[in-house]
A and B are shown apart, each in its own frame.
Chain A
């Protein structure tokens, strides 16, 4: 990142933190957590322990981080190296990101940035300017993707509160600061589980590795009555809904499944997990019991938006509510082939133009790498 861009972002982030100390707090049991942070243009510092909100604010003011993280794990000695930390338990965490949904609209709001010459252009295989194929993909705001992610989040919450019987009160949903949502489950009976056990929980939530026998199809003599029914609890009910649609179509559906045979049904279950009823969480996040996870209230350096808790996810609009940087005008030269909206205001498209935009939009485009300070 260019020196003056970097200075600008550091200053902007610092200003945000200074103005929003109320939003950025240490979580419960802070002394048992590990903290970490990244700076623009440099690597990760971790194994940090913080006691109070004040300690955290001091860290933000003195280190000018680009991203701040806090462990889902609880340790006796959070600031020692991993092997000596003495792990006690870890909150169950989830990340649902628009890129994992891979919706058809994605190509319309993704552009490429050439890592050789820096050209930004619409999605294509090689750089139109220098023909290099070393390209970074950048995704810009999309309400459709956000709606898709919200739907997944609600499906996940449903499974957590019914099948897994996690108390609503213990689930915290937040916007990730870029294009996804995080779920944080505290105080549940699942906190003690290790990675292996969480791996099995992940397969459950994503509906992976389901076998036909469990869903009614005995290899040799399938019996009609053992197929799932729409009001069965858990996966049986959800599978039945997806397979049959309605109670009246169940009987016909079963006849078809049996005549198609076992391997077809097996395949079908697998595809249902991938394409319909499985919840698209990022398994690498949930399996990790030593993760340092983005801290609520902090800014995401991929966008300059804040990771923010949402009380009512259905109504939450991240591109206005999590856009918390100020709006004084900033001169930039921007290069965005795609139009996007922040704070109900449209920006772009720009082709190497010098423009004056509010600070939040300048920070957004600098973070995305599609603008430079003028």
Chain B
């Protein structure tokens, strides 16, 4: 494992061994649950989860000092206690959102550390994270970082914007050139996955009285995000991808939403069944969403046309196709999984 200094652990608290860290600082978990002087940390931990749930990147606010000796540990403690609260709540939605938000926070630091004129140790440390945590070897080349094409592809395929396609990248000699910003962005998803895995693998401590109230508040918070539509039978990759993006609270383009709605309507789902899928979209508005789906279903609007699911070709041109061999030359996602003779 990477050895961490005070600075680094505050930027990348998920790299720390939680129990070890508390021990080293001379604390026990029990103290956080009982000691009134430490209540502020528990409050900060809750705020940290709350802002993550709302899709914001946590920024520690302190009343008075900008004293490093206070801020840095506070940053780490609030993270560690947030995990304790999440484990106690057992709420997967919140764990996912928290991991994603923490990944984006770390991404900002990574980017800053990679920028050429920042200090050398930070840069080396950031490169080390790429290598040790994600097994990607990135190297500096002038203002850019270069990474092997095969490594690049394994991460870049998670993005649907055209600019991430290999054809739209500077490629030379088996390497892809990236700015510090792009380098950090490239591993956001994996960073989120890494943090999520670490949280899931952590032991759940026994419940303490001092945490009960916060844990209770968390389950109320989570209710806002529950999606309980179950989509059954075989789903083509494009649709799976769209649902996944929405569940993670990522933005899905208009054509993506249209494709998803028409597909599910075609499979016999109702507006009531489909609308909740969009709940996590950053711009969700229940009324508007329902109206739009109804319109696609031909249940409202002037001409009452029921729209059909677009063809694979159309979907490809919108960059929403993620064909696998199972797609086997079908021309419309509706045909997916149906045996052809």
Contacts and interface: CB of A to CB of B under 8 A. Distances in A.
A163 B172 contact: yes
Q: Is the interface of B mostly helix, strand, loop or mixed?
A: mixed
B156 interface: yes
A193 B154 contact: yes
Contact of B169 (A195, A207, A214): A214
B157 interface: yes
A201 B166 contact: yes
Contact of B167 (A213, A233, A235): A235
Interface of A: 162-166, 189-190, 192-193, 195-197, 199-201, 203-204, 207-211, 213-214, 233-236, 284, 287-290
B172 A193 contact: no
Given A195-B325, A234-B172, A284-B329, A213 B163 contact: yes
Given A162-B173, A233-B172, A234-B171, A211 B153 contact: no
Interface in B172-186: 172-175
Nearest to B151: A189
B324 interface: yes
B173 A209 contact: no
A336 B16 CA distance: 77
Would you list the 8 A-B pairs with minimal beta carbon distance, nearest first? Answer: A165-B174, A214-B168, A197-B153, A204-B166, A233-B172, A189-B150, A196-B157, A204-B167
Nearest to B162: A211
Given A162-B173, A193-B153, A290 B167 contact: no
A296 to B, nearest CB: 23
B149 interface: yes
Nearest to A192: B150
A207 B167 CA distance: 7
B170 interface: yes
A209 B172 contact: no
B17 interface: no
Contacts of B171: 163, 204, 233-235
Interface string B280-293: 00000000000000
A199 B167 CA distance: 11
A214 B319 CA distance: 17
Nearest to B241: A196
A234 B325 contact: no
B140 to A, nearest CB: 18
A204 B157 CA distance: 13
Given A189-B148, A214-B163, A287-B325, A201 B153 contact: yes
Given A189-B150, A200-B153, A200-B156, A164 B167 contact: no
Contacts of B149: 164-165, 189-190, 201
Contacts of A234: 170-172
Interface string B308-341: 0000000000010011110001000000000000
Q: Is the interface of A mostly helix, strand, loop or mixed?
A: loop
Given A163-B174, A200-B165, 12 more contacts: A164-B174, A165-B174, A189-B149, A195-B323, A195-B325, A197-B150, A209-B168, A210-B168, A213-B168, A235-B171, A284-B329, A289-B325
B173 A233 contact: yes
A190 B150 CA distance: 6
Candidate in A189, A204, A288 with the most chain B CB atoms within 10 angstroms: A204
Contacts of A204: 165-167, 171
B235 to A, nearest CB: 16
A4 to B, nearest CB: 30
A335 B169 CA distance: 53
B139 to A, nearest CB: 14
Interface string B128-155: 0000000000000000000011100110
Given A163-B171, A208-B167, A233-B173, A290 B325 contact: yes
Contacts of A233: 170-173
Given A189-B148, A199-B323, A290-B325, A209 B167 contact: yes
A48 B236 CA distance: 29
Given A193-B154, A197-B157, A287-B325, A210 B173 contact: no
B163 A196 contact: no
A261 to B, nearest CB: 19
A273 to B, nearest CB: 8
Candidate in A162, A200, A236 with the most chain B CB atoms within 10 angstroms: A200
9 contacts: A189-B174, A193-B153, A193-B154, A196-B157, A200-B153, A203-B166, A207-B167, A208-B167, A290-B325
A59 B322 CA distance: 38
B148 A200 contact: no
Contacts of B175: 165
A196 B324 contact: yes
Contacts of A210: 167-168
Given A200-B166, A214-B168, A234-B171, A287 B156 contact: no
